[in-house]
Amino acid sequence: MFVVKKGRQLNQQILSMRLERVAAQVPAGARLADIGSDHGYLPVALMHRGAITAAVAGEVALTPFHAAERSVHENGLEQRISVRLANGLAAIEPADGITAISICGMGGETIRDILDSGKARLSGQERLILQPNGGEQPLRQWLMENDYRILCEELLRENRFDYEIIVAERAGPVMYTAEELYFGPLQMQARSPAFLAKWQRLLHQKQQTLAHLARARQAVPEEKVRDISRQARWITRLLA
């Protein structure tokens, strides 16, 4: 919990459950780059808790950039948190000495593209704490192809949405199977109740989709049907 000053009023803000789980993965004493920081809530909260030593809050859009500037200013943290208007990892400078990067609340493909286009800004020493809204499979594929090992995966349900958190560090070549990229290698092992419930819901959706496609009068690309059928088989096997 941290306090945001608004004139003489004090109003307290707590991070959402999703951001709390992300915060828990930031190493103590990290120098954090929060890319797509929105209001800057994550770096501000972590700084108030003494959990990080410095932060960069990067935003590509003006409205959230100004919101983050306001949060940092109202909390008197201008000396500790740099708010920068920049596209993706362009917010990071070598002098920042960043040791952890958080990218949250975007599609997995968008996070992948941010990492890929900003590869030159990565030293390879940073911990990546990623919270994709869907598109986890292509994001894991990128991590594998770029020698990042997945250290931790978590799934939580908040406001009727499933959120996945993927934590990775560069550790040399790593190989995941197609199914591990789809479900998450550590999720498959842990089989948490939230994880199993998510895939039960998705299996039901895929079965409905297949039934709908079977009834559809217009031609459906065979590859699409095969792809959904394969996913349904994988999920059925996972839940067996």
Q: What is the DSSP string of 20-38?
A: HHHHTTSPTTEEEEEET-T
Nearest to 54 by CA among 35, 32, 38, 34: 32
Q: How far is Cα of residue 66 from the mean position of the Cα atoms in its chain?
A: 22
Residues 115 and 87 sit within 8 Å (Cβ to Cβ): no
* Separation CA 135–CA 108 (nearest Å): 4
Q: What per-residue confidence (pLDDT) applies to 2?
A: 47
Per-residue pLDDT of the chain in tens (240 residues, 90 and over written 9)? 444 444 322 233 578 999 999 999 999 999 999 999 989 999 999 999 999 999 999 999 999 999 999 999 999 999 999 999 999 999 999 999 999 999 999 999 999 999 999 999 999 999 999 999 999 999 999 999 999 999 999 999 988 999 999 999 999 999 999 999 999 999 999 999 999 999 999 999 999 999 999 888 778 888 999 999 999 999 999 999
Residues 150 and 123 sit within 8 Å (Cβ to Cβ): no
Q: What per-residue confidence (pLDDT) applies to 14?
A: 75
* Separation CA 54–CA 172 (nearest Å): 28
Between β-strands 52-59 and 30-35, what pairing exists: parallel, antiparallel or unpaired? parallel
Residues 113 and 139 sit within 8 Å (Cβ to Cβ): no
As beta bridge partners, residue 98 has none
Q: What per-residue confidence (pLDDT) applies to 162?
A: 93
Helix (H, G, I), strand (E, B) or coil at 180: helix
Residues 80 and 1 sit within 8 Å (Cβ to Cβ): no
As to burial, measured by CB atoms within 10 angstroms (0-12 exposed, 13-18 middle, 19+ buried), residue 30 is: buried
